[in-house]
Structure 1
């Protein structure tokens, strides 16, 4: 497997006050033609959102969006009727498919939420949108790798992506 290292200093950085983000690939206002994606991996953002702040309702399509809180609570609402909090130790997947709208924001009014936002180009376009969320707090995986996101629907321990 090819290994590419994107050092912190070489990542795209934004600071909107309420949002601080480091982008491994071209995203939003950050563009580097050498860093558009890596295979099906389109976005790998390390985000920090101030208390009570977040992203208002907006749309996505044909993208698998994985959110992994590292600290704090990330709140999610979408046009499929999901209203959930995602906490440290949990992983959320939203298959945007043929189109979905959602909002995500810091579920705590005071503390910062830190999370990874990962976008993966799906292997099938225009599917019915979907949502899944799992807790991994029960796994004893400290300093060990664990598969948590997979296209393998037979694995009950992962959130499924397309």
Structure 2
């Protein structure tokens, strides 16, 4: 079964320095029908204004993934990491027993765009950890994040896998093991998934079937989540 989640139905936030789209209930947006999919709890499309950002704030017991699309962001945290992420890079922060961090756009004139993704961990209270990696040159289907760090992917505390799809026009199979749930988030381009059309910002939940067929109509960038 495939369920489409259209971009126009997502929640919205406009805080001046931050404009965002919420795939699931978050902050001031609450929709009891959209509380996440399996262990996937948050996908926010964030546009952050120049010289602005999130001041120091806490997290715990969440796997937080940042997928950079445009610009750069400066990260500081209580684990001692002070880094900059640029377009094409992915960051994973396991909040575990508790961390505090800040994220700011260091540019005086260039906005930045990113996807903020939260995945619920399989266990609570683990030691916090941090990792980042540049996937900017990756093409095709690339494993970004996994529960065991396979294939040089970034590890999280959950039996979930996150793939980057950068595909030309053509066909591609998405496969799922029995009992798993798939979630496709289309960043750019157009495609059909088992003959259901998706445009940028749309998403699809795949349940109870072993595979789904992508027909890519124009080059796409997308994220594919393989969830427990």
TM-score interval, smaller chain: over 0.9
How many pairs does the alignment contain?
157
Unpaired runs of at least 5, structure 1: none
Query: 1:155 Cα shift?
Result: 2.6
Q: Which residue of 2 aligns with 1:160?
A: 155
* Corresponding residue of 1:103: 102
Query: Deviation per CA, 1:16-35, whole angstroms, max 9, x where unpaired?
Result: 11100000000000000000
Task: Return the index of the structure with the highest Cα Rg.
Answer: 2
Partner of 2:145: 149
Tell me: higher relative CO, structure 1 or 2? Use CA pairs within 8 A at least 6 residues apart: 1
Contact 1:25 1:44 in 2 (8 A): yes
Distance in 1 separating the partners of 2:92 and 2:124: 16
- Aligned-partner Cα distance in 2 for 1:14–1:42: 17
For the structure 1 residues 31 and 135, does the alpha-carbon distance in structure 2 shift closer, same or farther, using more than 3 Å as the test?
same
CA distance in 2, matches of 1:45, 1:4: 19
Give, in whole Å, the separation in 1 of the partners of 2:114 and 2:68.
Answer: 4
Greater strand proportion? 2
Q: Runs ≥4 in structure 1, deviation > 3 angstroms?
A: none
- After TM superposition, the score normalised by the length of structure 1 is 0.93
Measure, in 1, the Cα distance between the counterparts of 2:72 and 2:106.
5
Unaligned runs of 5+ in 2: 158-228
- Give the TM-score normalised by structure 2: 0.67
